[in-house]
Amino acid sequence: MTSLAQTSDELQDLYRELILDHARSPRHFGKLPDATHTAEGINPLCGDKLKMYFRIDGDDRISDARFEGSGCAISVASASLLTDMVIGLHTDEALKYFSALVTRLAGVQPTDNDNAGDDINLGKLRALEGVREFPSRVKCATLAWHALNSAIQRKSQPATTE
């Protein structure tokens, strides 16, 4: 019993390190001049304001991702983890991570028939699961992902061709 608790504490520490690392030195931070899809994420409760940039190629593959803005450590770390993960993914795969993460953070246990969070390995995103204990921070952790979702959903709009 104590060893289990200890293991979980150690994992928590590792995850906290990962979050702090991404918050302190965010990956892919800045504008993406040739972005094809962008979306803003605003979380007024906390004051997080992020802008996400994606370059999505003709085959629906995300070839680059960046973000800028400001927010708390969790929102910035989550956006940084997002950009790290989605580059190279098909938009369908990226959306699977989105729904898996949102499902997990909402504390919903996926059932066998519900593959929203089951068939996907959250990997480093598990670092964000700690916020489940702090419901007000769930919005911080999912903000960038909601922005990713709306950026991708807008793909039906005419793509700008210059």
Which residues contact Zn ion (rule: CB under 5 A)? 46, 48, 72, 75, 140
CB of 143 to Zn ion, least distance (A): 7
CB of 71 to Zn ion, least distance (A): 5
CB of 138 to Zn ion, least distance (A): 10
Using the minimum distance from each CB to Zn ion, give the nearer residue, 23 or 140. Answer: 140
Would you tell me how many other CB atoms lie within 10 Å of the CB of residue 150? 14
Burial 33-69 (b: 16+ CB within 10 A, else e): eebbbbbebbbeebebbbbbbbbbeeeeebebbbbbb
Q: Where are the beta strands (DSSP E) in the chain?
A: 37-43, 48-56, 62-70
Place of tokens 């950009």: 83
CB of 23 to Zn ion, least distance (A): 11
Using the minimum distance from each CB to Zn ion, give the nearer residue, 36 or 80. Answer: 80
- The C-alpha atoms of residue 33 and residue 24 are separated, in whole angstroms, by 24
